[in-house]
Structure 1
Amino acid sequence: MHDIRAVRADPAAFDAALARRGMASASAELLRLDDLRVEATRIVQAAQTTRNELSRQIGAAMKAGDAATAERLKESVKAAMDAAAAATPDLHEQARDALLATLPNRLDPDVPDGADESANVVQHVHGTPRAFAFAPKQHFEIGEALGLMAFDTAAKLAGARFTVLKGALARLERALGQWMITLHTEEHGYTEATVPYLVNDATMYGTGQLPKFGEDLFRTNDGRWLIPTAEVPLTNFAAREILDPGALPIRLTALTPCFRSEAGAAGRDTRGMLRQHQFQKVELVSVTAPDASDAEHERMTRCAERVLTELGLTWRRVLLCAGDTGFGSTKTYDLEVWLPGQQAWREISSCSNCRDFQARRMEARFRPTGGKGTEFVHTLNGSGVAVGRALIAVLETFQEEDGSVTVPEVLRPWMGGVERIARG
């Protein structure tokens, strides 16, 4: 959510920020609605002043026995209060805020311009893609050949964009999630949380999923929403709170299922596990003071990068351009992993700084040390990382010509010492 005072202070800069995202100007309509609110508020306040003044006069007239004057003054009070009732400042404020709620966050100055992912900037590449002596297969070919990945069974149970894993692959997925969450809690200082997978409207609104992205979500018949990521409940821990400065930064992590309708993904990645309605993910969330969020963004991204490095995967860090940066983010790093079967880089983590955009929606504040009043916190989120996509990367990177898969060394303790997955 944007601060209307900032829009009013520099409407041209606000519209220029929207233009970087390919959006039309909005400041004129926002200020028109806010002007209506201001004028309506003035009318209400003037009516209250008039009522108070006339009430004293009515009392004096009644005391003097001047009933006619008292009745005339009462009519004036009624007219003033009727005007106040018609002014409806709350409705103008709601209309203004409804428009504000649909507008994306401002981008940082160092976010590159560009309309789509073709303008993203690769900042770092770690590792070299493995040279294969055979034609590497895609993950679904490997999993089906092992007899441990069943898309037909999943389709029978639930429909398209679901996967059933069995045996060693189910255990490998579990091992990935358990190893990641342990790494982040024991070595990176995050506090693990178990969170609801169903949340209310206010929680979805707080992190920016509502109202704009409702079609991308699953809703239950009692009005709750299945979480698209643990970012939603974790970030909302700070909603409507005033935090002490000593409590910051707050670093939280959770391993949860995520649910997405993939409404805009028709025809994309229809084979395999890349784009699913349900998948596992380890989420990282930080709540910081404003002057600490840039450093926290770098730290969070390094935490996610370590996951990929420890697994022995080839990855790269990409700074997203204006047209590819998400709604609530001011700046996002994507981590992309090389998939030998696809011969392509695919996103496996996004780490974003939202600054005070979500905090304003959630009313999440802190008391600055030595300062007066409160300020909005900054919030950040990142994947640490997507478990299903990590599984895909492991299968494709460590496949062998005989169809088996070598288990990365860091996962072997979580696999009961298993070093290789082969068809039984």
Structure 2
Amino acid sequence: MSNNFIVLEDLNRLPLAQQGIELVERKGKGHPDSLCDAIAEEVSLALCREYSAAFGRILHYNADKAMLVAGRSEPKLGGGRIVEPMRLVLGDRASSRCNGKQIDVVAIAEAAVRDRLRQNLRFVDADQHVVFQNELKEGSPELTDIFERDVVGANDTSAAVGYAPLTETERLVLEAERWVNSPAIQRRFPEAGEDVKVMGVRQCRHLNLTVAIAFVDRFIADAQTYFDRKEEMRLALTEHLLGCLQTLDDVSVQLNTLDDPARGEGGMYLTVLGTSAEGGDCGQVGRGNRVNGVIPLNRPISNEAAAGKNPVSHVGKIYSLLTHYIANEVVQRVEGVAEVYIWLCSQIGKPIQEPMIAASQVILRNGVGLTDVERAVKTIIEQELAGIHDFSRRIVRGEFSVW
């Protein structure tokens, strides 16, 4: 395969970690947007398994349109109640029949939805607290026909970008959310719900984290308990993150900054189930984390929502994951590359291993020139594009997180 479509460029600037300002966000597994991404991807993987078992191959589908409509709740110190359940609307297209055989797409999708809710939310009864609304329909003839061709082509003209390495700010934002949602911390602070949001703002070598955690009301007897436990959690998280610092000088943590002790229960972030989706916030696929787990405001990001998309032909998903994978391979294997951005753009109907363009933008270490790394970078891109179908099979096996 000719590599004429592979382009290499020297950005000739400081890596992001050495720039003065950086902003990074992370939405935790109980956030409504993350729930939608996780649910859509679980449905996608379930459909892949069922298609493979029933038909020996994956058929046309995309289950990447999901919206979690907030219910209504009445949180209360000592334990409140759910007044109206949440509603999960899942839609787009999914083939249900092939060669005279048929599968129950609706049942498969609903089972996957409820399984994912049980895995992500300790206090949610997936049958009682969530209404499932299926809007998956049969696909259009033209897009369905892509899967009948000898060579399955891209189902869209789409572009994606990935980068490496993560900055220390990005790693710490990820670590903060994962620490709060870890089993050990949930045992230590059972009142910490899964709906966690972290915003990191770095100015030079100081990092400030604003963290929102949905407290579960049944564990909070009174206002004093709430504010005492909140401070204990803030101090514990700060101590943990200080032990993770590598190049930054310090990190400060602020927790649930909307709180106001003078406003009673209205001045505390209380929930019945540990997620704002129970009564305060809706969610939607594609509004949360990028496929590497963060929302990096200083970086170029793909505008495709990867969760729920077909991993055989949907380049919005494949390229979003593959660009980050290639970028990591480059920084690990090519000496002299300090930071790299990988861009891929497909053309609908064309083989996914043959993009219109594959561009690599590199920031090089002192004393390294573009010609020193060009051959190695292009070789990695060629190798990964040639193995793209194996990469797709890894996506089908659930080896990559998309949120």
TM-score bracket for this pair, using the shorter chain length: under 0.3
Higher strand proportion (structure 1 or 2): 2
After TM superposition, the score normalised by the length of structure 2 is 0.21
Decide which structure has the larger Cα Rg and report it: 1
Structure with greater contact order relative to length (CA < 8 Å, sep ≥ 6): 2
Higher helix proportion (structure 1 or 2): 1
